[in-house]
Structure 1
Amino acid sequence: MNYQTYQPHPDLESLVSCYWSLEVPASDNPQQQRIIPDGKIEMVFIFGDDIKRYTTDNNFILQPRAFVLGQILEPFCVEPTGYVNSFSISFYPFGFANFMEEPIKILANKETPIEKLFGKDVAEKLEHEMVWAKDTQVRIAIAEKFLLNRLSEASTVDSIVKSTVETLLATKGNTSISNIVKDDPSKRRQLERKFSKQIGISPKQLGKVIRLQSALKMLLSEEGDNLTKIAYKSEYYDQAHFIKDFREFTGISPKEFLGHENMELSSAFYK
């Protein structure tokens, strides 16, 4: 598996977390990979063979060749049908709302083809350019030209949403919404409404996802550490609380996560 990340242009770095590319050779025995919530929104382009996304244990759909994956709150499994070659733009939670006019919540828990968001002509031109680009650096240049053009047309995210996300990221999800709006509690309902529109999930849900991200990174970098210590460092109430949240977002326990063949891709993302 060849997974690479790339940093965005300075004019986009407050909205785009990174770009990443993934190549995996075709296998006679392809493995399902579990994708878990990370609080980000992805714009994905598939250049290799089709990829299955399982909707149940036995049923699947083929992912579109160019799509946006909105906020997810439950894990799902993907499986390659052959050679994997893909490129993605990974947006911060508040980032993608700057590039579309519709409420961001319409993207939640599914793949939305880019033509539904940007129109058929624009989407076909972008996808054609990405497919025929000679390498990843050219794809990044194409993506950034597209995003910068969209940015000049779209409205910006409300400052109350952006500052809340930044606070949650800075505190690794360990700041309550009550604490964030303590100077004006009347803003809480307004914040939750704006979050639903511009982020796609509630502030509390995003905080839980961000906190789990922190624990996952700790788990992967400190395999010898015990779960109680990781729970304490991540500011969970106790180990049981940590395991409960972990199962909610990954579908398995922390101990099952380590070394699990279906978690190879997610582990690469978090490392």
Structure 2
Amino acid sequence: MNVSFIRELYIPIQPTVKSLGLVSYQEFLPHLQLQPFVYCYWQLKTTEKLSEAFNYRVVADGCIDIFFELDHSTESFVMGFCKKYTEFKLESEFNYVGIRFLPTMFSQLFRIDASTISNKAEELKFILPQFASIIQSDFNVFIDIKSIVQLLDAFLLDQLSTVKFDNDTRLYNAISVIMNNYGVIDVKEIDSGISHRQLRRLFNFYIGDSMKTFSKVVRFQNILRAKPSTQSLRKNKMFFYSDFFDQSHFIKDFKHFYGVTPSKAFGR
């Protein structure tokens, strides 16, 4: 089954960084052959030294990321699927680079059980020691972003050439149904041709969590993508169209995935 539909249907969004212009966040496309598997490379860095430590919030996006700091490339990490937002307290100066894999693709490329790294950041040397060694030897604070992208492309293209994908139609049909319905679906109604127990095992291995949790994250991400204003949320009652029982449930779920209420997140 062609899995390129995931990129076509799903855009994992992270909040815009706001720190008086002193912190920059940018995303970069990988090589064309990698785009069905890698959503983006990203860089989060200070443009000037901050007066204090920086709290960076990562919202739930259904993806798995590898990341490292160019100043300390001896340490690299992989962040698994997260069922809620995560906050990182960074120093007053930093320069992080990351790879955001589209749902299922980290496990497809590296044959790693995604459930073993869910809801936590693990040191990459214990998960992918070869890649951790490459990061340590080839990356440093003096390297420019064009060279960073080229090096990451080279490693991942080489990895891609050695992997035989398990494009199980039962798993990807279920993911397609979830994404085409923007996460607003009763997963018990999804007919994949296998039992829900078997499908749960596939989701745990390739996604890192259950179909239900993944659907909720897809629903949340589609709300972010819609960028509703506080006024439109009240007027149009978007939470009803997103399969929430009432507004309080909508706010509670949103805060769980984002870390703040919708009105504070959208701020308009």
Same fold (TM over 0.5): yes
How much has 1:48 moved relative to structure 2?
4.1
Partners of 2:104 and 2:207 within 8 A in 1: yes
Q: 1:230 aligns with which of 234, 238, 251?
A: 238
Q: Is the 8 A contact 2:60 2:82 kept in 1?
A: yes
For residues 198 and 65 of structure 1, do their structure 2 counterparts lie closer, same or farther at Cα, with a shift above 3 Å needed?
same
Does residue 117 of structure 1 match 2:124? no
Count of aligned pairs: 243
Shift of 1:221: 5.0
CA distance in structure 2 between the aligned counterparts of 1:206 and 1:2, rounded to whole angstroms: 29
Aligned residues: CA RMSD: 2.6
1:101 offset after TM fit, Å? 2.6
TM-score under structure 1 length normalisation: 0.79
1:11 and 2:36 aligned: no
The answer to whether structure 1 residue 146 and structure 2 residue 155 are counterparts is yes
Unaligned runs of 5+ in 2: 1-22
* Cα distance between partner residues in 2 of 1:221 and 1:177: 26
Alignment of 1:207-246 (within 5 A): 207-218=215-226, 220-227=227-234, 229-246=237-254
CA contact (8 A) 2:183 2:217 kept: yes
Q: Secondary structure, in 3 states, of the residue corresponding to 1:162? A: helix
- Deviation, structure 1 residue 239: 1.8
CA 1:163–1:148 in structure 2 vs 1: closer, same or farther (change >3 Å)? Answer: farther
Partner amino acid for 1:37?
Answer: A
Q: Structure 1's 233 and 224: CA in aligned 2 closer, same or farther, altered over 3 A? A: same
Q: State the Cα distance separating 1:213 from its structure 2 match.
A: 1.2
CA distance in 2, matches of 1:122, 1:206: 27
C-alpha distance in structure 1 between counterparts of 2:162 and 2:169, whole Å: 18
Unaligned runs of 5+ in 1: 51-63, 260-271
CA distance in 1, matches of 2:230, 2:71: 34
Per the alignment, residue 41 of structure 1 pairs with: 64
User: How far 1:93 moved relative to its partner?
Assistant: 1.2
The two structures have a TM-score, normalised by structure 2, of: 0.80
User: Counterparts of 1:44-55 in structure 2 under 5 Å?
Assistant: 44-48=67-71
8 Å CA contact retained: 2:80, 2:120: yes
Check the 8 A contact 1:215/1:231 in 2, yes or no.
Answer: no
- Percent identity between matched residues is 26
Counterpart of 1:136 in structure 2 is 145
